[in-house]
Structure 1
Amino acid sequence: MPRPRSLTTDDLSGAALAVIDRNGLDALTMRAVAKELGTATMALYRYVADRAALEILVVERIFAAIDLTLPPGLDWRERVRVLLNRTRLASAEHPEAVPLILRHRQSARGSLGLIDATLSALTDGGLTGVDRVIAQRTLIGYLLGFLQNEHYGALSGPGTAIMAGLSPEEYPFLAQTAADARTVTPEHEFRAGLDVILAGLADRAAWAHDS
């Protein structure tokens, strides 16, 4: 009987991501990935312990596609914008895998590279110590929250349409705001929201410098 071919982590992550992209996250099983690879299910356990290990490989693959190199001379805020937007776009390529990014981001080395690159930008912006901790956590919280909203509660989705149809007499601000929200593209929403955060961080850095 011929010896089964050796597999690489790239083989495994590619097959797992193909299953997720085609059939959704719930379809990710060891059996499904083995079928995608044309091998026996038990053969996968030579490379990964369980589904959770497969999930981490998927997140590694997504983050590996994010270019962390930046053109020279960019302002620190623009560096943050570029890094976070690249992450958003890479995630948008595989929307069914977004929950895995939220779940395993700290286990993926590619994620650590993104965090370090963002911390470098924040440091150049004058944020250090605890201020840098809070700034980084705020940016990651914004990014993760945006990914959830974009793929599971988009402004163009049915929830916003329902709110836009509410009685303006009973909910004057909500009805008008929901109507306005339906005109906002994901790109505009992401950019404008990030601008608000970066402006606040710049003010914080200036305050810390003057204190």
Structure 2
Amino acid sequence: MPRPRSLTDEQLVAAALSVIDRDGLPGLTMRAVARELGMATMGLYRYVADRQALEVLVVDHVFHTVDLALPAVNWADRIRILMERLRVAVAAHPAVVPLVLRHRQAAPGSLLLIETMLAALAEGGLTGTDRVVAQRTLIGHLLGFLQNEHYAALSGPGTVTMSELSPDRYPHLSGTATEARTLPPAEEFRRGLDIVLRGLGG
């Protein structure tokens, strides 16, 4: 099988994302990516050390698609805009969610994103360990939501099943699940983020 004379990170990521979008995360193997590129599997190791290194490239690409140029609005609104942009970037390739959780600190593209978030929190008056906890809480909200949206969505069978429970035995659960089925993912994310930001003084 012919091997490209040179291969860029962008080409590697595009091939990996094609595999992930088509076959899911379990389908991401060095062999599958090499096949996508029309090359021998061993030839791929000239460009990337192993699957983990390939995963980091994919996560780094996702982070780099997030526009960090934020409008001149108050700090809390800048956080809202940044978080929504990150949510949308990951949602473009839902199967990548576990990789974002696994490699978010190893991907260089996360550094400027985190710096942008910390700058907004600093403007909001958060310092020291308060800023540490605030930043990690915001990321925790985002990562938890992404897992819920793509692996346990409110529109999924779990919510449907709970909404059909006996209201006599489970009045709060069945009623809440019924309401949950009407809540769009974007609104769920925004309202949850609003709760977090109110707690931070935003």
TM-score class normalised by the smaller sequence: over 0.9
Pairing 1:51–2:78 present:
no
Counterpart CA distance in 1 for 2:174 and 2:31 is 48
Q: CA deviation at 1:132?
A: 0.1
- 1:80-99 equivalences under 5 Å are 80-99=79-98
1:28-107 matches, within 5 Å, as 28-72=28-72, 74-107=73-106
Q: Deviations over 1:111-153 (max 9, x none)?
A: 1211111100000000000000000010000000000000000
Which structure 1 segments of 5+ residues have no match? 204-211
What do residues 36-64 of structure 1 show as CA deviations (whole Å, max 9, x unaligned)? 11111111111111100110111111111
Following superposition, the deviation at residue 22 of structure 1 comes to 1.0
Distance in structure 2 (CA, Å) of the matches to 1:190 and 1:174 = 20
Provide the rounded CA distance (Å) in 2 between the counterparts of 1:3 and 1:174: 57
Q: Is 2:25 the counterpart of 1:25?
A: yes
Equivalent residue, structure 2, for 1:6: 6
Rounded Cα–Cα distance in structure 1 between residues aligned with 2:4 and 2:42: 11
Which residue pairs with 1:159 in the alignment? 158
Length, aligned pairs only: 201
Change (3 A) 1:3 1:147: closer
The amino acid that maps onto 2:49 is A
- Unaligned 5+ segments in structure 2 are none
* Alignment match, 1:207: none
**Is the alpha carbon distance of 1:25 and 1:3 closer, same or farther for their aligned partners in structure 2, counting shifts above 3 Å?**
closer
What TM-score do you get using the length of structure 2 for normalisation?
Answer: 0.97
Question: Which residue is equivalent to 2:123?
Answer: 124
RMSD of the alignment, in Å? 1.2
Deviation at 1:176, TM superposition (A): 0.5
**What SS does structure 2 have at the residue aligned with 1:46?**
coil
CA distance in 2, matches of 1:42, 1:92: 32
- Whether contact under 8 Å (2:3, 2:43) holds in the other structure is no
Q: CA deviation at 1:4?
A: 4.3
Q: Percent same amino acid among aligned pairs?
A: 65
2:194 corresponds to which residue? 195
After the TM superposition, which segments of 4 or more aligned residues of structure 1 sit over 2 Å from their partners? none
Matched letter for residue 27 of structure 2: A
Q: Distance in 2 between matches of 1:132 and 1:169?
A: 45
Q: Distance in 2 between matches of 1:192 and 1:129?
A: 27
Would the alpha carbon gap of residues 3 and 202 (structure 1) be closer, same or farther in structure 2, given more than 3 Å must change? closer
